């Protein structure tokens, strides 16, 4: 598999804070790369820097070979990058339909694609005309993911989609992300839930203090409890 | 996949009608206090007309505030510039303005309004590019820059038109009143109400029925996410800023005709009123702005009639009361 996204020596400063301190890793095309690490390790900052929401102060970010570290966020999105932030950031004043209409930049909603999404998230069909602000946390997460895939994307950046959700909804989300991967979408996923990380991850990158401290196969890390404890402070089991 | 996400129907969101009922309640409450029905009708009509004019001036500012997080203390400049630009058409063609023909009056009034809106909108473009672009996200600098802009604009108006107050007579067809029973309602006030309602309906239509409107509403709530969906929100900012400035220009022309005079400091006087309306309504909320404008006008008119000594502080008292009840305004959209 070739690499769809590569980061080389990426540094990010927010005010006087040096958040990312030379991040290097690659995301293989068509797979799911897990981005793990303790709280404050720099995972969300990495996604935000890739998305252009925070400007990298130095280093290179390439998407399909094209440098994007100086590109504006909308231009990065238009290259086929979907972003699902930790906060979900659904537009609560807008209906489910309006949220998806906005996300479909290039024209009206595609019925076939919409049916594909309803297959994952039937609740969105049911609450089509409800205000997004009135949805439950799980439904908002579904809407946030649906918004990111309402049009074909090359790469999805997803930040802790299972955080705070009930186990049954987590299972549904895992199935959904597997299906999205089967559709050929590459995913870079920040996740703290061990079950989700083990189920979904092909490869894994671990961060600490704004830098990458481990790269490898997810299965290998899942099988190595001492390594988990060394890298994450706790075993992945304890992160459930 | 099994749908595990939603069991049963969503609770229907409560419609928050309480703020919308306030102007009605206030109007009804003042009937016995005012005493005379004809005086009450006249005061109510004056309030509605004044409220609509303030709404037109404030609607752009609330969107700019909500969407762009920009504190534009220079908004009053667009109001004054709009009024002055209208005199460029209305004064040389005074014969048409004074003609006893609705057609002749409209033939001069409509171009004057359109020109005023166009010039104010274009000035908005310049102000956004030159004064505001370098200070996005820096409130203190925004206040300094836009206040400075207002002073410069005011002095430029003095330099170009002189320090005298310019009389601006109402077109003949808009003089006089409609008499209903004992009450008289000035024709211009009726026109102001109709224009205000049309602007309100137009903005609501754009916000709720078009993709641009969706983008504006989404941008007010979370501009960063709108960018992450692939839209250049700065371009949207610029468009909204220009439309807001154009509407301020329209409001300026209407206010000048209402007062039948134009002067360079009119923007100063109205800026305070407009900011009170925007804060009362809730930053970024057009509905809140509409109700806020009505409340401000009603308190000014009823208050001025019933307790003249309170007239000067009535709007501040209203703002304090509303913020004590709802600290983020009547209809809060943003959490800023």
pLDDT value for B12: 57
Mutual angle of helices B139-161 and B266-281, in 10-degree steps: 150
Query: Is B6 near chain A, with CB under 8 Å?
Result: yes
* Closest Cα in chain B to A83: B228
Pair type for strands A186-190 and A32-37: parallel
| Cβ contact, residue pair B5, A139, below 8 Å | yes
Number of structural domains (chain A) is 1
pLDDT, chain A, mean: 91
Highest mean pLDDT pick, A114-123, A189-198, B117-126, B202-211: B117-126
Query: Is A98 near chain B, with CB under 8 Å?
Result: yes
In whole angstroms, what is the distance from residue A119 CA to residue B176 CA? Answer: 65
pLDDT digits (tens, 9 = 90+) for A27-79: 999 999 999 998 889 999 999 999 999 999 999 999 999 999 999 999 999 99
In whole angstroms, what is the distance from residue A91 CA to residue B287 CA? Answer: 18
Residue with tokens 């203090």: A209
Pair type for strands A32-37 and A203-208: parallel
* Closest Cα in chain A to B11: A134
For chain A, how far is it from start to end, CA to CA, in angstroms? Answer: 30
Of A92, A105, A126, the CB nearest to B221: A92
Query: Is B268 near chain A, with CB under 8 Å?
Result: no
Count CB-CB contacts under 10 A for residue B1: 14
What's the complex ipTM?
A: 0.92
For the domain made up of B47-325, the CATH class stated in words is mainly alpha
Of A73, A92, A93, the CB nearest to B227: A73
- Kindly state the tokens that stand for A12: 């990010």
Pair type for strands A3-14 and A58-63: antiparallel
Neighbouring residues of B76: CB distance < 8 A, sequence distance ≥ 6: B150, B266, B267, B268, B269, B270, B271, B274
Residue B179 phi, psi dihedral angles, 5° rounding: -105, 120
DSSP A202: S
| Cβ contact, residue pair B10, A130, below 8 Å | yes
Question: What letters, b where the CB count within 10 A reaches 16 and e where it falls short, cover B104-126?
Answer: bbeebbeebbbbbbebbbebbee
Residue with tokens 């999105």: A77
- Kindly state the tokens that stand for A110: 């595609």
**pLDDT of A213 over the 90 cut:** yes
Q: Is residue A124 part of a domain?
A: no
Q: Is residue A61 part of a domain?
A: yes
Phi-psi region of B230 (alpha: psi -120 to 50; beta: other; left: phi over 0): left
Pair type for strands A211-217 and B166-167: unpaired
Percent of chain A with pLDDT over 90: 67
In whole angstroms, what is the distance from residue B124 CA to residue B239 CA? Answer: 9
Structural domain spans, chain B: 47-325
Q: What is the CATH number of the domain that holds A166?
A: 3.40.50.300
A contact residues 164-203, partner B, Cβ 8 Å cutoff: 166, 168-169, 171-172, 175-176
Q: Which residue out of A52, A72, A74 would a mutagenesis test of the B interface target, given it has the greatest number of B Cβ atoms within 10 Å?
A: A74
pLDDT value for B1: 38
Query: Is B115 near chain A, with CB under 8 Å?
Result: no
Q: Is residue A132 part of a domain?
A: no
Q: Is residue A113 part of a domain?
A: no
In whole angstroms, what is the distance from residue B114 CA to residue B119 CA? Answer: 9
Of A77, A134, A172, the CB nearest to B228: A77
Question: pLDDT-based confidence at A158, cuts 50/70/90?
Answer: very high
- Kindly state the tokens that stand for B54: 């303030």
| Cβ contact, residue pair B5, A123, below 8 Å | yes
How far does the CA of residue B65 sit from the closest CA of chain A (Å)?
Answer: 17
Question: pLDDT-based confidence at A236, cuts 50/70/90?
Answer: low
Cα separations (Å) of A79 from A67, A109, B63, B116, B297? Answer: 11, 19, 30, 41, 50
Query: Is B210 near chain A, with CB under 8 Å?
Result: no
pLDDT value for B5: 41
Angle at B221 between CA B216 and CA B226, to 5 degrees: 60
Per-residue pLDDT tens digits of chain B, which is 336 residues long = 333 344 445 555 567 889 999 999 999 999 999 988 999 999 999 999 999 999 999 998 988 887 777 889 999 999 999 999 999 999 999 999 999 999 999 999 999 999 999 999 999 999 999 999 899 888 899 999 999 999 999 999 999 999 999 999 999 999 999 988 888 899 999 999 999 999 999 999 998 899 999 998 898 888 899 999 999 988 888 999 999 999 999 999 999 999 999 999 998 888 989 999 999 999 888 999 999 999 999 999 999 999 988 878 899 999 999 999 999 999 877 544
Please give the residue range of the domain that contains residue A195.
3-85+145-239
* Closest Cα in chain B to A139: B5
Q: Is residue A163 part of a domain?
A: yes
Query: Is B11 near chain A, with CB under 8 Å?
Result: yes
* Closest Cα in chain A to B235: A74
pLDDT value for B65: 82
| Cβ contact, residue pair B1, A102, below 8 Å | no
The answer to which of A174-188, A214-228, B14-28, B322-336 has the lowest mean pLDDT is B322-336
């Amino acid at each position: 598999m070739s690499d769809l996204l590569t980061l080389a020596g990426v540094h990010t400063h927010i005010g006087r804070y040096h958040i990312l301190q030379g991040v290097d890793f690659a995301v293989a095309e068509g797979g799911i790369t897990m981005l793990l690490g303790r709280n404050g390790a720099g995972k969300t900052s990495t996604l935000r820097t890739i998305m252009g929401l925070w400007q990298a102060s130095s280093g290179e970010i390439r998407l399909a070979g094209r440098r994007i570290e100086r590109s504006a966020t909308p231009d990065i999105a238009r290259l086929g990058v979907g972003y699902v932030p930790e906060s979900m950031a659904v537009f609560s004043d807008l209906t489910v339909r309006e949220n998806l209409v906005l996300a479909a930049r290039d024209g009206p909603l595609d019925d076939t694609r919409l049916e594909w999404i309803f297959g994952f998230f039937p609740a969105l069909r049911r609450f089509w005309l409800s205000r997004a602000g009135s949805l439950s946390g799980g439904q908002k997460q579904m809407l946030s993911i649906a918004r990111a895939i309402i049009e074909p994307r090359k790469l999805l950046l997803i930040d802790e989609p299972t955080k705070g959700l009930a186990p049954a909804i987590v299972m549904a989300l895992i199935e959904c992300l597997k299906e999205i991967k089967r559709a050929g979408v590459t995913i870079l996923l920040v996740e703290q839930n061990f079950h989700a990380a083990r189920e979904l991850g092909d490869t894994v990158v671990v961060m600490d203090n704004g830098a990458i401290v481990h790269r490898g196969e997810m299965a290998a890390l899942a099988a190595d409890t001492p390594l988990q404890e060394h890298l994450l402070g706790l075993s992945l089991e304890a992160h459930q | 996949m099994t749908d595990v996400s939603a069991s049963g129907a969503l609770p229907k969101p409560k419609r928050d009608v309480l703020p919308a009922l306030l102007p009605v309640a206030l109007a009804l409450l003042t009937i016995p206090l005012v005493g005379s029905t004809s005086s009450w009708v006249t005061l109510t009509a004056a309030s509605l007309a004044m409220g609509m004019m303030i709404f037109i001036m404030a609607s752009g500012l609330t969107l700019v505030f909500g969407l762009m997080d920009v504190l534009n203390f220079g908004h009053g400049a667009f109001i004054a510039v709009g009024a002055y630009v209208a005199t460029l058409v209305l004064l040389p063609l005074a014969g048409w303005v004074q003609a006893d023909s609705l057609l002749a009056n409209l033939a001069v009034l409509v171009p004057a309004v359109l020109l005023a809106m166009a010039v104010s909108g274009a000035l908005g473009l310049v102000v956004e590019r030159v004064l505001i672009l370098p200070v996005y996200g820096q409130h203190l600098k925004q206040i300094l820059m836009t206040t400075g802009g207002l002073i410069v604009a005011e002095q430029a108006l003095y330099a170009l038109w002189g320090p005298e107050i310019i009389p601006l007579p109402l077109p003949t067809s808009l003089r006089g009143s409609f008499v209903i029973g004992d009450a008289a309602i000035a024709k211009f006030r009726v026109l102001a109400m109709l224009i205000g309602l049309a602007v309100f309906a137009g903005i609501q239509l754009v916000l709720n029925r078009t993709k641009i409107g969706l983008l504006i509403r989404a941008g007010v709530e979370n501009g960063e996410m709108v960018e992450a969906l692939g839209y250049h929100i700065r371009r949207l900012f610029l468009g909204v800023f220009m439309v807001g400035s154009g509407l301020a220009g329209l409001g300026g022309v209407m206010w000048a005709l209402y007062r039948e005079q134009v002067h360079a400091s009119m923007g100063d006087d109205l800026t305070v009123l407009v900011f009170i309306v925007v804060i009362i309504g809730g930053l970024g909320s057009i509905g809140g702005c509409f109700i806020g404008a009505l409340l401000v006008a009603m308190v000014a008119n009823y208050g001025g009639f019933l307790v003249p000594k309170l007239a000067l502080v009535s709007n501040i008292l209203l703002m304090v009361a509303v913020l004590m009840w709802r600290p983020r305004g009547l209809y809060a959209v943003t959490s800023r």
